[in-house]
Chain A
Amino acid sequence: MYDHQNKHNSQPRYTPLKTLEVFKAVNRSFPHTDEINHIHDQGGKVFGWLCTYVPEEILHAAGILPVRITGYDRETDLDDGNAYLYMNNCSFSRSCLQMGLTKEYAFLDGVVGGSTCDGARRLFDLWRQYIGTPFHHVLTVPRKYTENAHSLYLAEVEMFKTHLEDHLEIKITDEELMGSIELYNQTRSLLRELYNHRKKPNPPISGSEVMEVLDACFRMPKESFNHHLKKLLQELDGSQNAYSGRARLMLSGSVLANPDFISSIEQQGGLVVADELCTSTRYWGDMVEVQPGEPPLKALARRYLNNYPCARMFPSEERFRRIIETAREFKVDGVISEIIRYCVPYSHDLPLLTKRLADINIPVLSIDLEYGSSGSGQIATRVQAFLEMIEAKK
């Protein structure tokens, strides 16, 4: 209509990334992907996990395919979810419950969560009661980083492993754990490489495309995910694609799985280059480092508690420090905080975080939304105003 207005968004040199189609296909067909069907045909097991404080490697070492429970990555009616969970539970927990109650997670042979926030805890209470997945486990996750916290969490991780072993009537050996750690570390370093592309002044991949990759990462066996991600990285190395925008933006918040939400920001001319989300950097941020002679379980527990922190952790300093580090590393001009309505940990941290970022001259746009939102007109208006403010400051 008015092309001259959209010159910021035009990407003339853009050629579609072939490997991205593989990931998109997985996301479209999940949970009925070929890989999951194959595992079930072979008598294998698929477990769902919820929250980045669940050590996924243990599930993998037990021969299970771990997939992340992300609820509907679209905004939908939550009739059943609303009937069982009170409205002040976040719409993420209601969305997951809705999918559970409508039997869309019936393919799961087990669920594992962390007692990280009330939303997750209430969801699991109800899951246990009404959904009847054959295996349930909730890890208690301390909120601090003290020595006591670490030994408590290690004990929790050990308990989880034993529970799983008893349920499956197997033993998970240290060698198996080491193998899984190695595989997952490979995923982490490949994702870091992917993110390094986003540090470029004109990244070859957009924020919404990266979200497709991450979503697929939660839904595929890591073996095949790594294989395809390597191919994608090769493609990016030779790619002429170069995204540009009015400002480099970072997303901050809890769970976000809808690439359309990021698209809606990018359509306004924002270049989303970095993030601090449960479904991204906080998931793959740190490697598991096993010291010589150390039991792998101990290294796992240490990594998962010390990882890029959730807003639930105390003190908040470590999270703020990392956010500022990420913001600088990716040279962001502004941060968009997306908070799922009634998410207590993130909304309570926000004023402190805003202040910290203001001190280094990075403005914050705070958006509260329902989980799965694709970005309404109201959000677009705010993003537009935010971008104009950043441009005026430049």
Chain B
Amino acid sequence: MLSIGIDIGSLTTKTVVLNNGRFLASVVSETLDEAEISAQVAMTKALERIDADEDPLRFVVTTGAGAKGVSFSDRSKAITTCLARGIAYCVPEARAVIDIGAESSTVVKTNERGKVLDWANHDKCAAGTGIFLQQMAKLMKLSFEEMSELSETASKGADITGTCAVFAESEVISHVHRVPPTPMPEIILGIYLSVSSRIKTMCKRIGANEKIALSGGVALHKGLVRTLEKEIGQPLFVPDDPVCVAALGAAVLAGEEIQKETAQ
């Protein structure tokens, strides 16, 4: 029986398929207007990848923003629970995970069994999330790779203190148009620092202070990861596939449910 985890995020939908705890496939697809269709498309793609039947024996756990609206889901779980299980699967030594997604950021403190001890999230504002970084990249007409590279040459970060994405954006614009303009690398480092300080505060709030892993699409943004590590004062574990950690956790939970059902 396949255990399938589907994480329906605000930009992308992630699917992970496990069989008896063994990893089979993961697929990232675009989130469409309706959660139901996004999840259906994502699952079909994943099943195609492993050449499974169209409708195999399966247990589906959904999570993320649209999790509740999926009719073929067997259970929906909170993103925090999924992150904890997912990170325990791919980075067993981690005791906390920072997840920076497109529109939210979350820090989860976990124990060795992948159970949630505490969590903090920030989902009221886009500052400190992937969309914010994307917006900034667009504003400066740079790719993420160029941003990462340029930030390395900065000696200090520009002041970006706005705690709101819109205000922060206007701060960046005023740095660009200043006479003389603030050097690009400094602005980029400033952006990274503003995101990092938000995350750091959340870690502090729940006492996540060691063995921290990083997940979500933003974990692929090298410059930001480097800045975040410096701010937090320790290296972060970045799994091979940071984007799919929550979906992986959902699949692990699906596996647990299958075990529970067979035990009964």
A residues near B (Cβ < 8 Å) are 1-2, 4-5, 363, 378, 381-382, 384-385, 388-389, 392-393
Given A1-B71, A378-B123, verify A392-B115 contact (CB < 8 Å). yes
Q: Tell which of B73, B76, B81 has the most Cβ of chain A within 10 Å.
A: B81
Task: Quote the shortest CB–CB distance from A363 to chain B (angstroms).
Answer: 7
* B81–A389 touching, CB < 8 Å: yes
**Could you say which residues of chain A place their CB within 8 Å of the CB of B78?**
381, 384-385, 388
**Could you say which residues of chain A place their CB within 8 Å of the CB of B81?**
385, 388-389, 392
- B159 is an interface residue with CB less than 8 A from chain A: no
Main secondary structure, interface of B, reads: mixed
- Report the separation of the CA atoms of residues A366 and B79 in the bound assembly, to the nearest whole angstrom: 17
Residue of A nearest to B80 (CB): A385
Residue of B nearest to A2 (CB): B73
In B108-160, the 8 Å CB interface with A consists of 115-119, 121, 123
**Could you say which residues of chain B place their CB within 8 Å of the CB of A363?**
118
Residue of B nearest to A365 (CB): B119
Contacts A/B (CB < 8 Å), 14 sampled: A5-B73, A363-B118, A381-B79, A385-B78, A385-B80, A385-B81, A385-B116, A388-B77, A388-B80, A388-B116, A389-B80, A389-B119, A392-B81, A393-B115
**Could you say which residues of chain A place their CB within 8 Å of the CB of B116?**
385, 388-389, 392
Residue of A nearest to B64 (CB): A381
In B69-119, the 8 Å CB interface with A consists of 71, 73-81, 115-119
Q: Which of B76, B115, B119, B123 contacts A5 (CB 8 A)?
A: B76
Task: Quote the shortest CB–CB distance from A392 to chain B (angstroms).
Answer: 4
Residue of A nearest to B113 (CB): A392
Chain B: interface size category: 10 to 19
**Could you say which residues of chain B place their CB within 8 Å of the CB of A393?**
115
Known: A2-B73, A5-B75. 8 other contacts (CB 8 A): A5-B74, A381-B79, A384-B78, A385-B78, A388-B78, A389-B80, A389-B118, A392-B115
Task: Quote the shortest CB–CB distance from A262 to chain B (angstroms).
Answer: 20
**Could you say which residues of chain A place their CB within 8 Å of the CB of B71?**
1-2
* A2–B74 touching, CB < 8 Å: yes
- Report the separation of the CA atoms of residues A276 and B104 in the bound assembly, to the nearest whole angstrom: 31
**Could you say which residues of chain B place their CB within 8 Å of the CB of A392?**
81, 115-116
**Could you say which residues of chain A place their CB within 8 Å of the CB of B73?**
2, 5
- Report the separation of the CA atoms of residues A233 and B144 in the bound assembly, to the nearest whole angstrom: 65
**Could you say which residues of chain B place their CB within 8 Å of the CB of A2?**
71, 73-74
- Report the separation of the CA atoms of residues A1 and B68 in the bound assembly, to the nearest whole angstrom: 10
Task: Quote the shortest CB–CB distance from B247 to chain A (angstroms).
Answer: 17
**Could you say which residues of chain A place their CB within 8 Å of the CB of B77?**
384, 388
* A4–B74 touching, CB < 8 Å: yes
- Report the separation of the CA atoms of residues A392 and B118 in the bound assembly, to the nearest whole angstrom: 11
**Could you say which residues of chain A place their CB within 8 Å of the CB of B123?**
378
Residue of B nearest to A358 (CB): B118
Residue of A nearest to B84 (CB): A392
- Report the separation of the CA atoms of residues A385 and B71 in the bound assembly, to the nearest whole angstrom: 21
Task: Quote the shortest CB–CB distance from B189 to chain A (angstroms).
Answer: 32
Task: Quote the shortest CB–CB distance from B210 to chain A (angstroms).
Answer: 19
Task: Quote the shortest CB–CB distance from B77 to chain A (angstroms).
Answer: 7
- Report the separation of the CA atoms of residues A4 and B78 in the bound assembly, to the nearest whole angstrom: 17
**Could you say which residues of chain A place their CB within 8 Å of the CB of B121?**
382
**Could you say which residues of chain B place their CB within 8 Å of the CB of A381?**
78-79
Residue of A nearest to B85 (CB): A392
**Could you say which residues of chain A place their CB within 8 Å of the CB of B79?**
381, 385
- Report the separation of the CA atoms of residues A168 and B210 in the bound assembly, to the nearest whole angstrom: 68
Task: Quote the shortest CB–CB distance from B194 to chain A (angstroms).
Answer: 22
- What are the 8 A-B residue pairs with the smallest beta carbon separation, nearest first? A385-B78, A392-B115, A385-B80, A389-B116, A388-B81, A384-B78, A388-B78, A1-B71
- Report the separation of the CA atoms of residues A385 and B80 in the bound assembly, to the nearest whole angstrom: 6
Residue of A nearest to B78 (CB): A385
**Could you say which residues of chain A place their CB within 8 Å of the CB of B74?**
2, 4-5
**Could you say which residues of chain B place their CB within 8 Å of the CB of A382?**
121
Task: Quote the shortest CB–CB distance from A359 to chain B (angstroms).
Answer: 14
Residue of B nearest to A385 (CB): B78
**Could you say which residues of chain B place their CB within 8 Å of the CB of A1?**
71
- Report the separation of the CA atoms of residues A5 and B80 in the bound assembly, to the nearest whole angstrom: 18
